[in-house]
Amino acid sequence: MRSTRGAARRLARPAILLATLCLLAATVGSASARTPSGGPKDAARPASDVELASAYRGPRVIPSASMRALPLNAPVVGMASTPSGRGAWRISADGGAFTSGDAHYYGSTGGIHLNQPIVGGAATRSGHGYWFVAADGGVFSFGDARFRGSVGGSHLAQPVVGMAADQTGYLLLTAGGRVFNFGGARNYGSATNSCPGAPAVAIATSPRARGYWIAFANARAYALSPNARAPRCSGTRVVSKSAAAVVDLFNRLNDERHARGLAALRWDPSLAVYAANWSKTMGGSSNLHHSNIGSLLGPYNYVGENIAMGSAGVPASALHNNWMHSQAHRDNMLSPGFQNVGIGVYCAPNGSIWATQEFGRPSTSGSPPPYGANTPVYPIVRTDADHLGC
């Protein structure tokens, strides 16, 4: 008999596979994120599921030759070297550009309202300009960098996570491992079918070689070139059960958002580490309970958390479907206010599965739109079952 443990709400859907699955959902928002109506404070949610707290907003930072002791409004998300190798640009999530060595400042998006945070950048071959890319695929050019195109007008199933310069153009990479090329950049393929066991997080090129590398959150990397392609999943690749479940939950989440016209959530390594640690904490103590997500405020002005557990044999797909059939959890998953997500899964020795979704909105993105409570149940597009579990 499958069972669950922990103080939790039970779903009123006895016909589903896991009728005994216990779930919780909570949301934390900054005081500045509250709206007169429809915001986190006024959302129709159980009082025990809502907590409000204030968020720290640091002073604005101007470009500098050194980042030492500077108070940042947003974390650094990318770095590009000058052609000489004696300087570099550091790029923050709000589009700030910080120079060191022989790198020169050519501009930033620091004063521009961004629909999605900056996730990476790349320098031109001359070293007299650079590009930034946002999670929605928008590209910004500075100095002698020329705009060659973007996927900003496309509705991506997975967010863009990085970029790299190549020839006279650039490459964009999504969390699903897909590569887009613009300008003179060559496309040698994607890693969407390689089953890496984790979302893609970075792409890099070399000025002395043709091709590029794609790196994943679990430290796996693939080299793609005229003579090499990312391996296709053969079904024999060794991927941990928890890592496979994480990727499955991430893809299902963004598929649901895509079906409702919402922007895909960007994979956030910091939130992912937090989520993984919390899932292990819950599984280690056999106690389903929420973390202190208020501790995440600062880099984020709006955060949320979904947790779930299932006994031995329960797949990740069942956790997703039960979350989607629970109003509070579904509201977190489909909120237009969130931009980032990190997911962690822990497989306990007894075969039970423990999962955590951590949602966040970077403080640099400004006050979030209304939370979006009372989202309708349907459509639910990822109702397919799988065997990805513990």
Identify how many contiguous H helices and E strands the chain contains and give both numbers. 4, 19
Rounded CA-CA distance 318/326 in Å is 12
Report how far residue 157's alpha carbon sits from residue 261's, in angstroms, rounded to the nearest whole number: 10
pLDDT value, residue 32: 26
> Which residues partner with 169 through β-bridges?
166
The answer to whether the predicted template modeling score (pTM) of the entire model surpasses 0.85 is no
Q: How far apart are CA 135 and CA 116, in angstroms?
A: 6
| pLDDT of 48 | 23
The pLDDT assigned to 114 comes to 80
Amino acid at 77: V
Cα(313)–Cα(22) distance, rounded to whole angstroms?
Answer: 15
Phi, psi values for residue 189, rounded to 5°: 115, 170
Contact 237, 308 (CB under 8 A): no
Residues comprising the chain, all counted: 390
Residue 286 tokens read as: 């056999």
CA 390 to chain centre: 23
Best CA proximity match to 335, nearest among 309, 310, 308, 357: 357
Contact 360, 343 (CB under 8 A): no
Tokens of 95: 């589009």
Q: How is residue 244 written in tokens? A: 């496979």
Q: What pLDDT is recorded for position 75?
A: 73
Distance CA 364, CA 146 (A): 26
State residue 38's pLDDT score: 29
Instruction: Identify the CA nearest to 26 among candidates 285, 269, 254, 292.
Output: 292
pLDDT at res. 72 = 66
Q: What integer pLDDT is reported at residue 196 of this predicted model?
A: 64
d(Cα 134, Cα 152) in Å, to the nearest integer? 8
Q: Which tens digit of pLDDT belongs to each residue from 146-191? A: 999 988 877 777 788 899 998 889 999 988 888 999 998 999 988 8
Q: Which residues in the chain land under pLDDT 70?
A: 1-72, 195-197, 233-239
Q: Is 261 exposed, middle or buried (0-12, 13-18, 19+ CB in 10 A)?
A: exposed
Closest CA to 286 of 365, 342, 352: 352
